[in-house]
Each structure stands twice: as structure tokens, then as C-alpha cells.
Amino acid sequence: MTSTQHLSLPAYDHHRGTGPTLVFLHYWGGSARTWELVVDRLPGRDTLAIDFRGWSRSNTLPGPYTLRQLADDTVAVLADAEIDDYVLVGHSMGGKVAQLVAATRPARLRGVVLVGSGPARPAAEITAEYREFLSHAYDTEESVAGARDTVLTATDLPARLKAQIGADSRAGAEAARTEWPLRGIAEDITEHARMISVPALVIAGEYDRVEPADVLRRNLLPYLSGAQFAVIANTGHLIPLEAPDDLVDAITAFAPAA
């Protein structure tokens, strides 16, 4: 694995192997290591996982931390890593970023996998009051633990992963921690989603309280032409950590190695 960190680009980890490259984009509060259990189950596959601007190893990069900036950063990282044949795999906030990147119709993009993704059209439940409440979810170690155990997951994760979630959630720059809940989560990108021309796979967690399957059916699928839809059983929102085997099976069936 090659770990790369620049002064002006987000940090990323690149495992070289057989393409097309799977490019992993993490959730709000996550990091590149959110995908480690998935990457570990893809031996020999070319993978790249990014620490978004404002998070983990990239938390000293200046803002803005908008969805558009994260999308532009993703394109810049792909150029820096010389990735020329790839599939975007975005989780939650990362799924919304993936939609923005795919909407530009990059010449070398093969497909997009949206895992518990932020939908193109915000759900009716995303009110101003809800967004203000959500913006404080990572304020303290106690609030992170509460969000992790009562909202983000539907399974009892090992202590190591619980600690990782806690550390990653608290590792974001303050402005990055609030950008998604206060603005990004409420951004309507339906016109961008309609422009996606590559095959798409939308994956929901059976017990996801953050982006329930019904919300993805109503607020995302209608804007993606001919997208496939799958529900992974017995998992909450943190599918890459709760159900990595099932997620790998779904990804590789959709985007097999060449």
C-alpha cells in the first residue's frame, strides 16, 4: 500500500492491483480507514481510499468543506494517483460526493456504487431543527458514542471498531464537522444525479436509521437511470464496518476485476 499526503490535496491510500480501481469515499465522521475491512477482503484489487478535506489526516487542509469542494478534491486525487479506469464507491456523505463527480461524466468512470448514500433529493425529515441537532452529534466523546450506538449501527461492533469510530468522528476540523449537517445534507442535487450516465448500484442497510431503504427508493433511485438496488440484511448505516463481507460481494458482482 502507498499512503500519500500533500500540502494541498487530501491524504489517500492506494493499494495497487487489478482494475478497475475501486475509489472509496467515506461518510461524515469517517476516514479512509472506514474502508479497511472492505479493502482487506479485496486482495489483488486496485483500491484507493481518501481522507476527505477536513477529516483525519486531511484535517489541517483549509476549507471550504462543501460537497463541491470534496468532489473537486476527489478528481484531483485521481489525477495525482494516475487512476484512469475506476468505479466510485461512496458511503453516506461520500455517496453524495460520488454523485457530483459522476454527474460530470468523467471519461474513465465505469460506474458508481452508493452505499447508504445521501439521496439526491433531501428527505422531508431533514428540517432546520434536525440539522441543528445533528451538527452537535460529534461535539463530545459521549455524544459520539450515543450516535454510534443508537443511530449509526444496528449491530454490536468490536471494541476496536467502536474506538475507531469515536476517534475518527472527533478528528474532523470544526468547520468540516458542521458543513455536512448544516448545509450538505440539505443540498438538492437531483439535476446532477440525472446527468449520471454510467451504471449505478444503490445499497441500503436493512435497519439503517440515517438513510432508510424507503428514503433511497423515493429520493435517489428515481433520479438514476436504470440503477440497481440492493438491501443488505441485519445492518445499520455503517455498512462498511457492520457487513463488509456482504458489501464486498455486492461491489464485486457489480464491478468485477478485469
Per-residue pLDDT tens digits for 62-118: 999 999 999 999 999 999 999 999 999 999 999 999 999 999 999 999 999 999 999
Q: Which of 227, 228, 238 is nearest to 169 (CA)?
A: 238
For 220-241, what is each residue's pLDDT tens digit? 999 999 899 999 999 999 999 9
In this predicted structure, the answer to whether residue 6 has a pLDDT above a threshold of 90 is no
pTM beyond cutoff 0.75: yes
Distance CA 58, CA 51 (A): 6
Reduced to 3 states (helix: H, G, I; strand: E, B; else coil), residue 13 is strand
Give the whole-number percent of the chain exceeding pLDDT 90: 96
For 190-222, what is each residue's pLDDT tens digit? 999 999 999 999 999 999 999 999 999 999 999
